[in-house]
Amino acid sequence: MFDLSGNSALITGASGGIGAAIARALHASGATVVLHGTRAERLAALAEELGERAHVVTANLSERAEAAGLVDAAAEVADAPISILVNNAGISPKSPSGSRLDTVNTTIEDWRHVYQVNVFAPIMLTQALVEPLTKGGGAVVNVTSIAGSRVHEFAGSAYATSKAALSALTREMASDFGKLGIRVNAIAPGEILTNILSPGSEEAILPQIPLGRFGTPDEVAETIYFLCSDKAKYMNGSEIHINGGQHV
């Protein structure tokens, strides 16, 4: 294991399957984890499971004021200055029937909502954390998606283009924040076994995956864990595909 003792990590969207797996991986390595989300009960249960060095903060990232206040709230509960930021939170709205929202039927309000959470919040948080991240030789990991590079069967247009924007943002951040000693990388998951996996995914998508199975939250978390460690200290501006070869 890579020792992350002495580090504090802010993980957005920690109440979901991938976010919780990230929290468990970083916490097991010795890091303090600040668990962000909007579902307080789930976060509290995860913090209780992890025990010491696990803290909860809630904020709605679709509200700019709440997103802006998240860093101060995290700093108040963390055991040490934040040196790791995992921008995992993301939203992908569906139609009332549960179908994907494409460029024909997505409202401008939905576009703004998605971009605030999936693109603007990550840069807002990184900017607000620039001082502690610089002092700690910090690491930032953005969670993009396979949908950011192709039209996806289930992911909507606003979600997909926001993830493409986050990929581009990762490159820009790696160039700018890298000069301050802050590494910025991304991971792009494909279909991962969580409760948000769309119905019909097995029939539609499994044949596209060379490894013949969906991924697990732990497999995503392990890659993020590596990117946050000193073993990845010369990685900056990378985007790692975690999809069993689906992207090829």
* Catalytic residue annotation: 159
Angle at 247 between CA 211 and CA 195, to 5 degrees: 70
- What single-letter amino acid sits at 6? G
Beta-carbon contacts of residue 204 (< 8 Å; ≥ 6 apart)? 153, 154
DSSP collapsed to 3 states, 46-68: HHHHHCCCEEEEECCCCCHHHHH
Locate all alpha helices (DSSP H) within the chain, ordered by sequence: 17-28, 40-50, 64-77, 108-115, 121-128, 130-135, 157-178, 201-205, 217-228
Determine the length of the chain: 248
DSSP 118: I
Q: Name which of 116, 125, 50 is nearest 84 in CA terms.
A: 125
Query: Please, what's the b/e burial string for 117-148 (b: 16 or more CB within 10 A of its CB; e: otherwise)?
Result: bbbbbbebbbebbeebbeebebbbbbbbbbbb
